[in-house]
């Protein structure tokens, strides 16, 4: 379920205050409290807002996150992992589409083979 997207305009609706809290937090609380009865719901929470990501993780405990916004949108991988990892240091699928699709345009990035050889 969409909670807090990574785009710059996400706050236009997702940050609106409902009962004194941002809408994205109300959605996260509703997912945990009422909407995840079969325990098969995940949340989309953007990497470009690590503070908000941490707030959602505090509510969501062990619900998995899909995290867009790393790379081209400016999300920081280290901040994202610190803010969004669950108690087991897992719980996220981090998406980086454009940086992968256009990796050949960035000669300073290592290839998968180079990464394997260096480890």
3-state secondary structure of 23: helix
pLDDT in tens, the chain (119 residues): 999 999 999 999 999 999 999 999 999 999 999 999 999 999 999 999 999 999 999 999 999 999 999 987 889 999 999 999 999 999 999 988 776 666 666 666 666 666 667 65
C-alpha distance from residue 26 to each of 14, 31, 55, 79, 86 (Å): 10, 9, 11, 23, 20
Whether residue 55 contacts residue 32, with contact meaning beta carbons closer than 8 Å, is answered with no
| Residue-range definition of the domain harbouring residue 92 | 2-118
Whether residue 81 contacts residue 40, with contact meaning beta carbons closer than 8 Å, is answered with no
* pTM for this entry: 0.80
Decide the pairing of beta strands 43-45 and 21-22: unpaired
How many distinct structural domains can be found in the chain?
1
**98: closest CA among 72, 78, 79?**
72
Domain holding 87: CATH number?
A: 3.20.20.70
């Amino acid at each position: 379920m969409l909670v807090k997207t990574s785009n710059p305009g996400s706050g236009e609706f997702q940050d609106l205050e409902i009962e004194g809290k941002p809408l994205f937090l109300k959605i996260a609380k509703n997912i945990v409290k009422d909407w995840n009865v079969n325990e098969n719901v995940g949340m989309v929470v953007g990497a470009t807002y690590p503070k908000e990501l941490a707030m959602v993780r505090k509510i969501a405990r062990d619900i998995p996150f899909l995290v867009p916004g790393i790379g081209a949108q400016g999300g920081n991988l280290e901040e994202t992992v610190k803010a969004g990892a669950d108690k087991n240091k897992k719980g996220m699928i981090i998406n980086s589409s454009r940086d992968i699709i256009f990796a050949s345009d960035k000669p300073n990035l290592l290839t998968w083979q180079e990464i394997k050889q260096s480890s």
